[in-house]
Amino acid sequence: MYTALNLSTSDDFNMSEFDSQRPQELSHHSVKISIIIVLGVVVTLGNIAVLLAITSSVSGWSRNSRYFLLSLTAADSAFGLLVMPLNLWVSLLKDYTEGPDALCHVVAFCNATVYSTCMYTLATISLERYIAVFYPLQYSSLLTRKRTLFLIAFAWCFPPILLSPISLPDGIIQVHFSSASLVCNPSYSTNVGYSLSLTCVIFFPCSVIMTFANLKVWCAAKRQRLKLRKYDSARRSRLNVPSRVLVPVMGAYYICWTPCMAAMIYNAVTGSSVPEWIEFVVVWLPTSNGFLNCIFYFWINRSFRKKFYLVLQKLALALCPELASTFVCCTTSKMQFASGILDNNNSVHGRSSSVSSTCTLLSVA
């Protein structure tokens, strides 16, 4: 009788503790879903804006560069259009007490494939820029259109082949749904060799290629900048373009991807998981790299911004002809004023004043 009473009291205590923790878990769940939705919207809108401009010709960008950047934009767009909706769908429909199923295996396969494709694409872009800087005369022969498309096809086709065991429900890779990160993840602790081989085949080779290529390009640009300073004192006030582009690109890559890889290796080696919110951050942090790529690879580029303004002008003309004239004039005024400063043209003030007067007249009309 005493034992039964004791067990009953213990059960009641556990149930009351579970009931007290349930509202907190629900609040955490809603906060995580809100963060994922906001991140997905930002990544999607940013890459849609990039696609609008890059699908048309951008001055100063070669054909091969456009192909690689289109591949990167497509891979980053997959974060917001494929990875996030699938994981949100599973997190809303799946009961946490249920075991792994075929749907969770498919979602985990899509997650790993998109992440790997993004890393391979970043590595191919770094390789293309390295060849363009150090072998400019042999660029056309080294990176032909066929080889460029082959590298892009490799970045998109090799990850699904390498990660195909994750998609098999009865395969060697076990998959579970994590309530901490709201993601279907492979159980790396039960497949240590496979998880370590993934990092050795995907993360470390891509990191080595990106670090080597960008570091060499940065050093070459720095040497060239120092030489220009000796012959032209006006160059001293010029912005440090390599530090403004290459350093943020590499910094964002390592900040977004290294914690995720470290957590995966830690889980595989020790068999234990990291704390809840740390796991959520490190799992979804690589997704933010899809938005940072839009800033570092595109918005810093003057030719891209100019092309994007032209695309907005066309959209404004098509959607709202009444307001488009004012937008077109004001945008043209900014572009002409900026180009005049760069060209050191003395007639900029007169042209900008004329355009501003025309904008004022159109606005009044």
pLDDT tens digits, 137-158: 888 899 899 999 999 999 999 9
- 73 lies in the same domain as 222: yes
Over residues 88-110, mean pLDDT: 76
Q: Is residue 248 part of a domain?
A: yes
SS3 273: coil
Indicate yes or no: pTM above 0.85: no
Nearest by Cα to 211 from 159, 258, 263, 246: 246
Residue 138, domain extent:
26-302
CATH of the domain at 288: 1.20.1070.10
Residue 300: pLDDT band (50, 70, 90) is: confident
Query: Is 80 exceeded by the pLDDT of residue 197?
Result: no
Q: 241-270 and 276-294 are packed helices; what angle lies between their axes, rounded to 10 degrees?
A: 150
- 100 lies in the same domain as 167: yes
Alpha carbons 181 and 110: distance in angstroms, whole number: 16
Lowest-pLDDT range of 11-25, 53-67, 111-125, 324-338:
11-25
Query: Is 80 exceeded by the pLDDT of residue 353?
Result: no
Query: Is 50 exceeded by the pLDDT of residue 320?
Result: yes
Q: Is residue 308 part of a domain?
A: no
User: Is 175:186 a contact under the CB 8 Å cutoff?
Assistant: yes
Domain boundary among 302, 334, 354: 302
Give how many domains the chain has, as a whole number. 2
- 43 lies in the same domain as 162: yes
Over residues 284-288, mean pLDDT: 89
Alpha carbons 70 and 29: distance in angstroms, whole number: 35
- 100 lies in the same domain as 149: yes
Question: What pLDDT is attached to residue 148?
Answer: 93
Residue 118: pLDDT band (50, 70, 90) is: very high
- 240 lies in the same domain as 351: no
- The two structure tokens encoding residue 101: 């199923």
Q: Is residue 5 part of a domain?
A: no
Question: Following CA atoms 210, 215, 220, 225 in sequence, which dihedral angle do they give, to the nearest 10 degrees?
Answer: 120
Neighbouring C-beta atoms of residue 12, cutoff 10 Å: 10
Alpha carbons 68 and 71: distance in angstroms, whole number: 5
Q: Is residue 20 part of a domain?
A: no
SS3 186: strand
Alpha carbons 114 and 284: distance in angstroms, whole number: 13
In this structure, what DSSP letter does residue 99 have? -
Lowest-pLDDT range of 16-30, 49-63, 211-225:
16-30
- 182 lies in the same domain as 140: yes
Over residues 24-53, mean pLDDT: 82
- 93 lies in the same domain as 205: yes
